[in-house]
Amino acid sequence: MNDQPFLAKPYLLTHSLMPENHETPISFIDTPFVPNKYFYRRNHFAYPALSYSSYWLPIGGFVETPTVFTLKDLLQLPAKTLKVALECSGNKRDFFQPKVFGEQWKRGAISQGQWKGVPLRTLLEKAGLKEGAVDVVVEGYDYGPRTDLDKTYSFMRSLPLEKAMDPDTIIAYEYNQKPIPFKHGYPLRLIVPQWYAVASVKWIKQIQVIDKPFKGPFQTIDYVYYPHKDDDRGAFPVTTMNVNSSIQYPLEYELLNTGMHVIKGIASTGMGTISKVEISTDEGETWRTAEIAANEEFGWTSWSYNWTVHDKGEYTILSRATDSYGRTQPETAFWNRKGYGYNAIDRVKVKVE
Ligand SMILES: Nc1nc2c(c(=O)[nH]1)N[C@H]1C(S)=C(S)[C@@H](COP(=O)(O)O)O[C@H]1N2
Ligand SMILES: [Mo]
């Protein structure tokens, strides 16, 4: 994999090449089905080497009948197609104050498209869950060292039984009507709607059902909210996505003419749907409602607002989304040591001249 750097895409914003971590400038995304070339990439390890010809998916552990599925088996089972937004829990980490360590993502560690696959539930039912099953552990083919522990780890995450059995949690084999692109998990990827994308394990190697909560480092060390800088009091795991919105137009520090401008963006949530998006151009003195496109169950909602500006000067444009559970973006994001779940009201500064 030494040639990885040469595969970097010039239109993605690169944070690191080994492993490959890129985001997409949020203004590039103007379709609900984001093409592969604009799909952010978030990896903990080098890309895995897979042998596609002998690919099979074993399900074992706390089940009645340990079962191995071939790709062909999976393709023959009833499939589900879902439009799902995947947001990295580190999205917007760059905006935390005080700053936190980790990839300094701006707004672009988010993407969405159409995923087709078989509900994980179908496979678990075929293998037969044993009474007392607690967690379903999904392992990817990628592995490597960690900076904080001296062993080598695979990328592995578990879902509690309830989320694993949710009929919308799928083992996907298609993205936007094509086989999943290699860097996004080919041939099989778990897709967990409504949870931060860390749960959506790429390059699935095997699935194990266990009778106690899984303690792997990607859910007990990382992907945990630590409210305090110097100790672990009050820690809790990263799961459901927060309500959030991002301004796509205008760009930060853009120069604009006087007249009418269509402020555009996206909003998303891990609970229910987006019920409103409000815009302010006077530092939150007054808020006006943006037009929102059809409500999305698992995808993001596009919104727009016609802004007529006569007076020259500097303006800050704010966007604030609220979901159907009544959750609203806060003025200040909940600070946590590893910088997850940033969702403060979005702000973009412009100058009208
Ligand atoms: N096998 C595997 N799955 C993974 C990861 C990984 O490093 N390895 N990263 C997770 C994280 S943190 C995110 S945000 C998404 C990124 O998916 P993408 O690279 O397709 O955008 O995949 C998740 N699934
Ligand atoms: Mo992530």
Q: How far apart are CA 295 and CA 76, in angstroms?
A: 31
Q: How far is the CA of 73 from the centre of ligand 2 (A)?
A: 30
Q: What is the pTM of this model?
A: 0.96
Q: What is the mean pLDDT of the chain?
A: 95
297 membership: H or E segment, kind and range = none
Reported as a single tens digit per residue, the pLDDT across 85-113 is 999 999 999 999 999 999 999 999 999 99
Q: Which residues line ligand 1 (CB under 6 A)?
A: 39-44, 88, 140, 142, 155, 184, 197-198, 200-203
pLDDT over 60 (residue 7): no
Which listed ligand is nearest to 46 at the C-alpha? Answer: 1
**CATH 3.90.420.10 domain range(s) in the chain:** 13-237
In tens, the pLDDT along 153-163 reads 999 999 999 99
| pLDDT tens readout for residues 122-149 | 999 999 999 999 999 999 999 999 988 8
Instruction: Tell me which residue has its CA closest to atom 11 in ligand 1.
Output: 198
Please tell me the distance between residue 330's alpha carbon and the centre of ligand 2 in angstroms: 22
Q: Cα 293 vs. chain centroid, distance in angstroms? A: 21
13-237 is a CATH 3.90.420.10 domain: yes
Task: Using a CB cutoff of 5 Å, list residues around ligand 2, an ion.
Answer: 42, 88, 198
Which option is the CATH number for 244-352: 3.30.465.10, 2.60.40.650, 3.40.50.10240, 3.50.30.60? 2.60.40.650
pLDDT in tens, 42-87: 999 999 987 666 789 999 999 999 999 999 999 999 999 999 999 9
> CATH 2.60.40.650 region(s) of the chain?
244-352
Instruction: Return phi, psi of residue 177, to 5°.
Output: 65, 20
Which residues are paired to 314 by β-bridges?
A: 351
Q: Ligand 2 center to residue 315 CA distance, Å?
A: 32
At CA 266, angle to CA 263 and CA 267, rounded to 5? 125
Whole-number Å distance, alpha carbon 281 to ligand 2 midpoint, is 31
Q: Say if residue 78 is preceded by a cis peptide, omega within 30 of 0.
A: no
